[in-house]
Structure 1
Amino acid sequence: MTATPVSGVPPHSPQGPDPLAPGMLVATRYRLLGRFAGPHWVQWWHAHDTELCRDVALSLIDSAQVRATDTRPDPVARFCRNTTGTSFSHEGRIAQVYDIAAVGDRIAVVAEWTPGWRVADVARTVPRPLDAARTVRHLAAATADAHHFGARLSLDHPNRVRISREGLAVLAFPATLADGTAADDVAGLGALLYALLLGTWPLSSSGETRAAGLPPAGRRGDGSVVPPHRVRPAIPRRLSDVAMNALARRPGMVTAQAVVDALDRILADARARTASAFASTTKRARPASVNRPPRPNAPLPALSGALALIVALGAAGWAAGATFTASDAPPAAVADSMLSQIAPVPDPFQTPLTPSSAAVYSPLRFPDNGATASLAVDANPATSWATDRYPQQLSATKRGVGLIVSFPEPVDLRTVWIDSPTPGTTVEIRTAPVAWANIERTQVIGAATLGDGVTEIVARTPTPTRRVLIWISGLSGGESGFQSRLSEIGFLGSGA
């Protein structure tokens, strides 16, 4: 059986006979799609369950390793209990174990598959330090929850963890050996953060990791790991200290919850700065009339029924004329565009809403520049996310591409503003019931053609949601092809 590449990762091709070749049970039910490098005593596979028609994460563990780390009676049974015990409460950051069984001289652990990327794939893009912190934070929270109930995760190797499409770290290949401790998991969280900051692996106990795409971390003369901020001065010292203190299990950073608390403080400070930046940018972008607060208890302007009807019909007629002459969109999309043209002006007392993550939504192909999606919501207009460059405009088969932006809690969304250097891009603002909902299940709440700079799009009605899809249905054209770039996306409204 030949493995094929998965997510850009070449399959592992061992030289000579493989001591952990899949047994008959695995070979008859699971189709192996790609293998990921790991320690000598385990194989990690992306596989397809042919009976249940779903992709899975398959771990094949040498039972001799299990017995070597646990000399008590029934070590295999205890390994199975410990591994399945990680799935009871995982906040979506620990893959659920579907099945586990001893097969000859190996143990097969079947878990849910995590679509996304290896740690090395993401680290190679040199993510922003705060993005690295967000990536690790939720796995740290799931680890703290597991520790509370006595479970251990064995965060000992970079390929045991995958980065989901939402940009969050997930324990993708659960398998808990008896010698794993809570302190080792804390060090593993520090190692994961270190790897995302610098693209090197600081732990020495997990064996060779170069095959996983991460070379060993640099060390000082005394053997200690070089702190991240010493290698990349742009990395905040506080974040560098979190990684180093977790790695060294220093006082104040000996539990997974301490890692969560430290990252939360760093991210909270960043959110405060982001909110200030959003407010400042939005204030500059708004029309002067919107910036004037209403007088207390002022009555609404009087407007006769006839005048209101004339204004409404005039606005609708202008919108319909402009839309039908400039677009070949289907009638539903035309109606959506018309409604967005006559939406009310923004409420001047809206507050900035800070998203927790952004991911590329591209149903028909690999995500366009998926690793840089967060640059569109990082409160830094100097950075941006861009679509791929296409030789022609989007077609009926490739209807669009966009960004799914998530919020930590439901928000009452009223206005979206987009800063873009590619005028002519047509966008729709859609709410999504789930992160990867089919486009037909999303709801359009606004649309616009972007100008050069900041464009505001007002929601037709305040819409409580946790996910917003910025859907690009038309790319900006140029001499070298069609491509759109979003420098910054801001959201205004209130908590739902």
Structure 2
Amino acid sequence: MPNSIRPGDVLADRYRLVDLLTESEGGRFWRAHDGVLERHVALHVIGADDERAPGLLEAARRSATILDRRLLRVLDADQVDGLCFVVNEWGSGRSLDIMLVDEGPLGARRAAWLVSEVAASIAVAHDAGVAHGRLVPENVLVDRNGAIRVIGFSVDAALRGLPAGRPSTDVSDLGGLLYAALTGRWPGASPSDVTPAPQEHGRVLRPRQVRAGIPRPLDALCDEVVNPYPSHGSLRSAHDLSTARGIGDYLRDFVGDTTGMAEAEAASAPVHRQPETVAFAPLPDRPAPSGDAAAEVPPAPDATPEDAAPTPAPAPAPPPEPTVVRLAPPAVPADSTPEPIAESAESSPEPPASPAPTTPPPSAASEPTLVAVPVPPAGPGDADPSPDGPDNREARTDPDAGQPRDVPVEQPTQAGLPIFDDENDDVSWLTARTEKAPPPPPFEPPPERPLFAPDPADGRPVRTPRPGAVTTSTGDFWPWESSSSTGTGVTPISDEDDDDEVPGRSWLRLAGAIAAGLLLLVAVVVAYNLGRGKTPLGAEPDSSRPSASSPSAEATLPAVITGVSAQDFDPQGDPPDENPDLVPLALDGNPSTAWRTMTYDQNFGPGGLKTGVGLVLDLGESTSVSSVDLTTVGAATGVSVYVTDTVPTGVRGLTPAARGSVKPRGRITLDEPVTGRYVTVWLTSLPTVEGRYRGEIAEVAVRG
């Protein structure tokens, strides 16, 4: 590949190279500018002499035939000046592998929606006969609008030197995408840079074994698709999991209404904002302190010397005059005239210097109390507006001397209580008492209880109370009992009322505990003997009883169908032969001879060369089939059984009547008998032989 290309060069007089994004395996990936359409494009370049060049151009032509909104389409492909290049639409967003690194595993509904969008796009391509070839997290993009875009359709596999993709590989990779989105691990058949999924005994662990909280429908789907030979087929029997369209329908049923999913995906993408300059508003000036002193406000940092001069604070408003409240006495005669409740100190007339009362002065009990409501203390320069100065004193008339004098005004405290009169809108105060309340009387000490009961020398019997007995209080303290002669109504307790404990009760309880322990010991011994395959008493079982392998047990099974012929079945081989000369050895009744498959470098499945090989058994006529007996060689062999009325040409589109694993001898039992003439024994997983894979069938028999 020429090394002279660099940013700024123009390919095909149209595409100006802008940024070199990646470079690997002799190829380069550029962001370029299309001078005709005036937009950015993605451009892959390899040398024209590269062995991948013809395959790359062919993959670009295949990809250009697919029209789907989720695909980054191929716009151009050509060879110019010793370079082979392919031009795709430019996509801006985050790929799934980057999302897993940044955010970790996705939520269940979000992951199912993402893979369902990919599956819908792949289904459109499969209908046109085109496969992606490398459907890995690196090739699934979420753009800035939250839409799902598929990258490198057919082209990415060709750039990596992989053969043309197959639909079965894409289906397996769809299950791998869902697995990766849920767990952050990659189990698919195509190579990816995402961390591989853990395996155990050749099987990928289920998603729920890797990460807790994954819904069971998605866990079962991943297990069925990623592991090509699951131990159960309940999901495949109800849903089509062998096609991208079937997987997409299953995931859409799980997601439900997809309205707003793309918007939520776009909102969750990280937003890169430009730095902003934040300007804070200036702080307000502090209020000036009260009083005559002038408040000085510190100048602002950018103020001029003239602005920094101290500004005198405005003179404070004069404090309000105290309000004199006249409190009514607790009791007012009915014929008395009430006085005003409150009056201003300015409107109160000054008391005469020498009053001349015409009526006797009222008593202290009926004299109203004048209370001055306190006001906040004035500043040091404030004038005292009250005539008596700042002592909060009021001029009152002494009823005894007839001369005015200064009396301190009582202030209401927290102990005071306001009294409201709803009829006259009067408010009075109930002041706290001046004397302390007397303490409560002391508690009388309880009568002393004697430590020991005295000797009943006075003839009174000592009472021994019965449990649960109800007695009447007699005024005497227990344990004495008064006689009926005292007039209390209590009859002396006689010896006949004493109930002794039932004799032997404790012994009965001990015997019950011992019996329970013996029963438990016997149960443990019986369970242990049965677990060893012996009788409950530990003896050897009677050999005369029929066992599962005895002739009487065999008599209960359906009869073996005779007159069966067989032929090898390899519809995906070229030529379609699989050791046809060894087929009679599977029906000769000799377990030491066997028909065997070819020896393969890869096991069967979506990632292998084939999905399976097998034998087609001709029963001679249509017969009800209930089970198939197999004897294999080596480790466990995966087997699927098909029953048809015509000679099969392949297993695609057929529904297996039963599945199972045989090691080295087993019986594949159909859930329900199926009627047909041809029984296909399809080997789906082969045991290993010296680092390679080969299957052998020593004997096969059909029961029905």
Would you call these one fold, judging by a TM-score over 0.5?
A: no
Query: Between Structure 1 and Structure 2, which shows a larger proportion of helix residues?
Result: 1
- TM-score relative to the length of structure 1: 0.45
Larger Rg: 2
Q: Work out which structure has the larger RCO, using CA pairs closer than 8 Å and 6 or more positions apart in sequence.
A: 1
